[in-house]
């Protein structure tokens, strides 16, 4: 397995492409937007520069990594003759089902189709294809080049052979793959998102402010990043989407998104990506806490 296609050049997609390319794989990075591809490649180059500055890799390693990546705006061309496709598009079930149906039609019959979904059923995604035994979840953590964990989620029909192949492949990337079962949110987000949601509820109910909540969790629980800052880093829209998937899947009110989270997403305050979430990330006010306009 040497030829990989990654669909989506956003935060997760470019990180996945970077990781495979740095490990010597030939990567086709695919996105419908040329601007997104340019931004994704610029991010990869910038991250490699950081590694060079820290003397973790050489300039030659950087050049080789970038040389291993080719960009495409046409998925039909980008997925030809690849051994594995890793889908890293927006966390939207309808979009993912559409992508996997298209991949099933144009990819070779031996190609394994993986999704980086953080919450959506692998079994449901696999059902959109004629090869459910070759569909698997490969949930990387952000930032992908640094984080060691990969959640490997097998759908109802995922074969033992495909599961072993992806587990072994993850190890060649220097990752630690962990197999989990196919339930909404899997393990990482089933535990993480209720904690983030409860932190937002705590803010919403006026128990404490943004910095105070994050400080308690960082100093009291030894978390490297407070839950509200982490939510900003993940993207509040992504957090909302994951909570909705879990709420729809389990019908349990404990997964219902906090109204404050819903309001902030509707207002376009998505965290780092939009320049403001629970903190302000504009150039003049980097990481300052935001106003309490949405709080009770």
Catalytic residue among 75, 189, 197, 244: 189
Residue 295: inside a domain:
no
As a whole number, the mean pLDDT across the chain is: 95
Q: Is 189 a catalytic residue?
A: yes
Q: Determine contact, residues 18/65, Cβ cutoff 8 Å.
A: yes
Residue 64: inside a domain:
yes
CATH assignment at residue 69: 3.40.50.720
Residue 237: inside a domain:
yes
- In terms of domains, do 176 and 193 share one? no
- In terms of domains, do 136 and 267 share one? no
Residue 122: inside a domain:
yes
Q: Determine contact, residues 258/166, Cβ cutoff 8 Å.
A: no
Kindly report, residue by residue over 243-264, the tens digit of the pLDDT: 999 999 999 999 999 999 999 9
Q: Is 34 a catalytic residue?
A: no
Q: Which of 117, 147, 181 is the last residue of a domain?
A: 181
Residue 296: inside a domain:
no
- In terms of domains, do 173 and 258 share one? no
Q: Determine contact, residues 90/81, Cβ cutoff 8 Å.
A: no
Query: What pLDDT does 282 receive?
Result: 86
For 43, the domain range is: 3-181
- In terms of domains, do 258 and 283 share one? yes
Partners of 115 in the β-ladder: 87, 137
Catalytic residue among 14, 118, 119, 244: 118
Q: Is 151 a catalytic residue?
A: yes
Q: Is 282 known to sit in a ligand binding site?
A: no
- In terms of domains, do 32 and 106 share one? yes
Q: Is 118 known to sit in a ligand binding site?
A: yes
Query: What pLDDT does 292 receive?
Result: 46
- In terms of domains, do 154 and 197 share one? no
Q: Which of 156, 181, 206 is the last residue of a domain?
A: 181
Kindly report, residue by residue over 103-136, the tens digit of the pLDDT: 999 999 999 999 999 999 999 999 999 999 999 9
Report whether pLDDT(294) > 60. no
Phi, psi of 50 (to 5 degrees): -60, -40
Catalytic residue among 87, 133, 151, 276: 151
- In terms of domains, do 172 and 197 share one? no
- In terms of domains, do 18 and 118 share one? yes
- In terms of domains, do 22 and 167 share one? yes
Q: Is 225 known to sit in a ligand binding site?
A: no
- In terms of domains, do 78 and 159 share one? yes
CATH assignment at residue 251: 1.10.1040.10
Residue 111: inside a domain:
yes
More confident residue, 162 or 287: 162
- Which token pair is 36? 């997104």
- In terms of domains, do 139 and 249 share one? no
Q: Is 55 a catalytic residue?
A: no
Q: Is 206 known to sit in a ligand binding site?
A: no
Kindly report, residue by residue over 127-161, the tens digit of the pLDDT: 999 999 999 999 999 999 999 999 999 999 999 99
Q: Which of 181, 205, 222 is the last residue of a domain?
A: 181
Q: Is 141 known to sit in a ligand binding site?
A: no
Query: What pLDDT does 289 receive?
Result: 56
Q: Determine contact, residues 119/189, Cβ cutoff 8 Å.
A: yes
Q: Which long-range contacts (CB under 8 A, 24 or more apart) does 49-58 make?
A: 51/145, 57/22
Catalytic residue among 18, 47, 119, 139: 139
How many other C-beta atoms are found inside a 10 Å radius of the C-beta of residue 204? 16
- Which token pair is 237? 């829209």
Q: What percent of the chain has pLDDT over 70?
A: 95
Contacts of 247 (CB under 8 A, 6+ apart): 253, 255, 256, 257
Mean pLDDT of 86-95: 94
Query: What pLDDT does 295 receive?
Result: 46
Residue 149: inside a domain:
yes
- In terms of domains, do 34 and 139 share one? yes
Number of domains in the chain: 2
Q: Is 89 known to sit in a ligand binding site?
A: no
CA distance 9 to 138: 16
């Amino acid at each position: 397995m040497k030829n990989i296609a990654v669909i989506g050049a956003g935060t997760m997609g470019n990180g996945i492409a970077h990781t495979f390319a740095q490990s010597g794989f030939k990567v086709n990075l695919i996105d419908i937007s040329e601007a997104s591809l340019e931004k994704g490649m610029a991010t990869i180059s910038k991250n490699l520069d950081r590694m060079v500055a820290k003397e973790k890799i050489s300039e030659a390693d950087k050049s080789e990594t970038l040389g291993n990546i080719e960009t495409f705006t046409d998925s039909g061309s980008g997925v030809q003759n690849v051994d594995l496709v890793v889908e890293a598009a927006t966390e939207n079930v309808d979009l993912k089902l559409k992508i996997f149906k298209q991949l099933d039609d144009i990819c070779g019959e031996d190609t394994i189709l993986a999704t980086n979904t953080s919450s959506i059923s692998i079994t449901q995604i696999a059902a959109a294809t004629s090869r459910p035994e070759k569909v698997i979840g490969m949930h990387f953590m952000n930032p992908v080049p640094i984080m060691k964990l990969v959640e490997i989620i097998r759908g109802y029909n995922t074969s033992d052979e495909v599961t072993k192949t992806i587990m072994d492949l993850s190890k060649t990337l220097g990752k630690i793959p962990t197999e989990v079962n196919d339930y909404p949110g899997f393990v990482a987000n089933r535990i993480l998102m209720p904690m983030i949601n409860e932190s937002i509820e705590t803010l919403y109910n006026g128990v404490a402010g943004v910095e105070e909540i994050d400080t308690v969790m960082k100093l009291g629980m030894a978390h490297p990043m407070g839950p509200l800052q982490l939510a900003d880093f993940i993207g509040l829209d992504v957090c909302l989407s994951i909570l909705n998937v879990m709420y729809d899947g389990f019908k349990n009110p404990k997964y219902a998104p906090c109204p404050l989270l819903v309001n902030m997403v509707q207002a376009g305050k998505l965290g780092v990506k939009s320049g403001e979430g629970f903190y302000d990330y504009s150039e003049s006010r980097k990481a300052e806490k935001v106003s309490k306009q949405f709080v009770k």
